[in-house]
Amino acid sequence: MKSLPIGARLTLWYSAILAVVLAGFGLSAYFGMRNSIHRTVDEELQARVEGVRGLIERTSRYGDAEDLRVELREHSELRGGGALLEVSDEGGNWLYRSAAIREYELPIQNASSPTTIVFKGMPLRILDASIAGGNRLYQVQVATPMGDFYGALSHFRILVLVAIPLLLLCAAGGGYWMSRRALAPVDQITNTARSITVHNLSSRLVIPPARDELQRLSETLNEMLERLDIAFHKIRQFTADASHELRTPIALMRTRAELALRKPRDSEDYRATVSQIHSELEKTSELIEKLMLLARADSDAEPLQFCTADVTEVAREACAQGRILSEAKQIRFREELPQGPMPAECDPQALRRLFLILIDNAVKYTQPTGEIAVSLGREDGFLIGTVRDTGIGIAAEDLPHVFERFYRADKARSRETGGVGLGLSIGRWIAEAHGGTIEVESSAGRGSVFEVRLPLFKQRLAAKLFTTG
């Protein structure tokens, strides 16, 4: 069964609750009115019995039964002549019966409390009482017709039975109208959100001016769209950059192979061609490996193997390889590592790769006769690793982007001399996977300082999804 719209469901719930409330009110009002009538009539009956009691007690002191009959007749006439009153002695003989009560021929009920009976089609409220006068016992019965009272109750009951459905119908219509007005902004949000696709993710929802849940919903959806827009932009940029980086070596290898196959060549030419293709294949394989690593990092499928390791030894191994790279370019290499071990909870292989990335980056952008310094220390439970160089530096406008994928601060550098721009992206992922950070300070022409800050034995943070480009 198809689910009803929210507006219809709200109207049904509202109508059901209102129906219960109105039914409860109607029943309470009806029974309250009836109880009030009974209470008022009962008080009147009790007052009449007490009047007769006083009359019997006074008359019994000085008179006989005939005097009592006369007094009762005068008492009944004083009360308007239409009072329903009858008095009998203990033998059941009537001493007095009012003219009004003779029409009903009521038997003695012997009811100690007021009760209602229907006699000859007329509802009567009756109260019996035994009254002692002198040495005799009298039975007194007073009654009040309830026809008019019950008629008013019947009219009230009909009014409630008619009014409640009408009120419910009006309330349901008004509730549905109000729910449609209240949910109209939701329909607008739905239509706008439905029109947003991958081709116009820059579109945003109109935020209602009222400070309510709909405003918060619109703001939350706009924030989500902003994140999706950034993510899609980075995916498109990453795809375009990866395609470009892969297309270049493939084109080179294809061109060289086609040139080698156009005409017969000697073995040295073929060897040179194969050597060039092999070199491009190695670079392409390295690029694909880095892309696969970042893809696994994006999907959180590249877990690091954490253990307690000596970070000093890890940095020393990275510096040994970095020194070889520096000597090849005649760059002075200096390391400032602790003399003793520095244990920390880390992935030694990943941490070694992080240091090598920073050292290799420094070697690429430092001129011959320059200097690279690697230092390691601790501060407030954190491991602080620094790679400092005297290279060409990074311009202020490039600093916010150096950790983005495929970004090269020096646009003049080729793929052969400057890499593909993935090393620092991988380095930042390694740092964040250890629950740490990596920062850079630099200015054009004055070198760069990369600082890695990692917790030593604090609880590791889960590896973050790498979303920077």
Q: Where are the domains of the chain?
A: 6-158, 213-298, 307-455
| pLDDT score, position 461 | 40
Question: CA–CA separation, 271 vs 260, rounded Å?
Answer: 10
Please state which of the four CATH numbers 3.30.1360.40, 1.10.10.10, 3.30.565.10, 3.20.20.70 is assigned to the domain occupying 307-455: 3.30.565.10
Give the number of other CB atoms < 10 A from CB of residue 147: 11
On the CB side of 454, CA atoms within 13 Å amount to: 29
**Cross-strand pairs, 136:** 133
Q: How far apart are CA 359 and CA 373, in angstroms?
A: 9
Q: Which of 124, 117, 116, 130 is nearest to 100 (CA)?
A: 124
**Average pLDDT, stretch 344-362?**
90
Of 212 and 395, the one with more pLDDT: 395
Residue 105 per-residue DSSP state: T
Kindly tell me if the per-residue pLDDT of 466 is higher than 60: no
Greater model confidence, 112 or 157: 157
Q: Which of 202-206, 255-259, 311-315 has the lowest mean pLDDT?
A: 202-206
- pLDDT of amino acid 110: 65
Task: Write the pLDDT tens digit of every residue in 82-138.
Answer: 578 888 877 777 788 887 777 777 766 666 688 888 877 788 888 888 888 777 888
Q: Give me the pLDDT at residue 33, please.
A: 92
The DSSP symbol for 206 reads P
Q: Is 207 helix (H, G, I), strand (E, B) or coil?
A: coil
Q: Between 178 and 64, whose confidence is greater?
A: 178
Residue 70 has pLDDT above 50, yes or no: yes
pLDDT band at residue 302 using 50, 70 and 90 as cut-offs: low
Mean pLDDT of the chain: 80
**Confidence at residue 276, expressed as pLDDT on a 0 to 100 scale:** 81
pLDDT band at 464 (very low <50, low <70, confident <90, very high): very low
Contacts of 242 (CB under 8 A, 6+ apart): 291, 406
Model confidence pLDDT, tens digit, residues 197-236: 767 777 777 777 777 777 888 888 888 888 887 777 777 7
Predicted local distance difference test score (pLDDT) of residue 215: 80
d(CA 184, CA 208): 11
What's the whole-number mean pLDDT along residues 365-386? 90
Residue 438, pLDDT > 60, answer: yes
Tell which CATH classification among 1.10.10.10, 1.10.287.130, 1.10.3720.10, 3.30.1330.10 matches the domain 213-298: 1.10.287.130
Band of residue 298 on the pLDDT scale cut at 50, 70, 90: low
Closest CA to 424 of 391, 455, 445, 401: 401
- Is the predicted pLDDT of residue 405 greater than 90, yes or no? no
Crossing angle of helices 423-433 and 267-298, in 10° steps, is 30
| Token representation of residue 19 | 């129906």
Can you tell me whether residue 383 is helix, strand or coil? strand
153 near 33, Cβ under 8 Å? Answer: yes
Assigned token pair, 467: 């979303």
CA-to-CA distance for 47 and 235, rounded, in angstroms?
95
pLDDT at 412: 47
Give me the pLDDT at residue 103, please.
Answer: 75
Whether the per-residue pLDDT at 463 is higher than 70: the answer is no
CA distance 462 to 303: 10
List of long-range contacts for 113-118, beta carbons under 8 Å, 24+ apart: 114/38, 114/41, 114/42, 114/45, 114/46, 116/38, 116/146
Amino acid at site 209: P
List strand residue ranges (DSSP E) for 134-238, in order: 136-145
pLDDT average, residue stretch 363-376? 91
Give the residue from 188, 73, 167, 90 showing the smallest Cα distance to 133.
Answer: 90
Which residue in the block uniquely carries the two structure tokens 């690793």? 385
Joined together, the tokens standing for residue 231 give 């993510």
Question: Residues, the chain, total?
Answer: 469
Cα gap 418→390, rounded to integer Å: 17
What pLDDT is recorded for position 63? 64
Specify the higher pLDDT residue, 211 or 454: 454
Alpha carbons 70 and 218: distance in angstroms, whole number:
91
Expressed in angstroms, the distance from the first to the final Cα of the chain is 46
Please tell me the number of Cα atoms within 13 Å of 70 on its side-chain side. Answer: 6
Q: How many CB atoms lie within 10 A of CB 35?
A: 10
Mean pLDDT in residue range 192-199: 75
The better pLDDT of the pair 276, 151 is held by 151
* Nearest residue to 442 via CA among 383, 401, 411, 385: 401
Q: 3-state DSSP call for residue 262?
A: helix
Residue 40: strand, helix, or coil:
helix
What is the CATH number that goes with domain 6-158?
3.30.450
User: CA 294, CA 444: separation in Å to the nearest integer?
Assistant: 29
**What is residue 307's three-state secondary structure?**
strand
Residues 6+ apart with CB under 8 A from 128: 108, 109, 110, 111, 112, 139, 140, 141
